[in-house]
């Protein structure tokens, strides 16, 4: 009971645990990075620093945006925002592929997700894949992560697939200055990696987040989004 209570009060790993995590592999000019993202803003919150690092390395990047955040009828606006946000990170709009599946209903769209991925793989075979995390408390994120991992395990098992967690109990935490730390319950069952950002990368990530004005007007969303602008990003090998 004491252990359960401790985990409930502080479900994230310690700073000492974080320092022990291996660093995310350095991208090369020969790498082909594919992000498979459920909604506009998830690409910047989870991987704004990694996108900048990929551009600096000269890696080829594609972003498959599964929905346009169209649940509330803001599809056109959210598309403009994601284009501006990734442009801040150095990614041109032509590198984004919009699938236009239904926001909030990806559990009903799994066959379409697989179809979209298979179409992309005809022209772009990635060396690294970033998607959402299967433990994410947002159903769209969890469903997408499972579909992506299953498909790559079947078709391209040698390609590493990493998950970027967005929604989880007391994650990412709201204390400014603290590093992003994964939930401690997952440390023993899976391998996590940390990407340490430079001050310049962190500043650009903040500017990228600011492009999502439609989300930032909501106080709770604003607090959540800027809480991802830390000195590091974390990824779980799926």
**pTM to 2 decimals?**
0.93
Q: How confident is the model at residue 1, as a pLDDT?
A: 34
Sign of CA dihedral 221, 227, 228, 234: negative
pLDDT in tens, the chain (238 residues): 333 444 445 588 888 999 999 999 999 999 999 999 999 999 999 999 999 999 999 999 999 999 987 777 788 999 999 999 999 999 999 999 999 899 999 999 999 999 999 999 999 999 999 999 999 999 999 999 999 999 999 999 999 999 999 999 889 987 656 899 999 999 888 999 999 999 999 999 999 999 999 999 999 889 999 999 999 999 999 9
Domain limits, the chain: 26-166+175-237
Give one DSSP letter per residue of 11-34, joined into a string.
-BPPHHHHHHSPBPPPP-TT-EEE
CATH for 26-166+175-237 is: 3.40.50.10320
């Amino acid at each position: 009971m004491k252990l359960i209570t401790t985990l409930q009060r502080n479900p994230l790993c310690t700073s000492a645990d974080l320092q022990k995590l291996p660093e995310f592999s350095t991208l090369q000019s020969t790498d082909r990075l594919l992000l498979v993202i459920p909604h506009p803003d998830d690409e910047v919150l989870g991987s704004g620093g990694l996108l900048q690092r990929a551009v600096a390395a000269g890696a080829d990047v594609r972003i498959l945006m599964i929905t346009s955040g169209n649940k509330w009828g803001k599809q056109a606006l959210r598309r403009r925002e994601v284009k501006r946000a990734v442009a801040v990170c150095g990614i041109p709009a032509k590198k984004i592929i919009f699938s236009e599946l239904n926001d909030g209903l990806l559990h009903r769209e799994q066959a379409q997700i697989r179809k979209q991925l298979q179409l992309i793989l005809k022209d772009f075979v990635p060396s690294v894949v970033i998607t959402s995390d299967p433990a994410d408390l947002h159903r769209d994120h969890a469903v997408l992560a499972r579909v992506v991992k299953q498909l790559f395990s079947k078709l391209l098992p040698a390609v590493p697939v990493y998950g970027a967690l967005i929604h989880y109990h007391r994650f990412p935490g709201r204390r400014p200055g603290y590093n992003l730390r994964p939930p401690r319950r997952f440390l023993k069952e899976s391998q996590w990696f940390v990407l340490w950002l430079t001050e310049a990368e962190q500043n650009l990530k903040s500017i990228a987040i600011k492009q999502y004005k439609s989300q930032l007007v909501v106080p709770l969303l604003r607090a959540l989004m800027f809480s991802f602008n830390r000195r590091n990003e974390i990824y779980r090998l799926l």
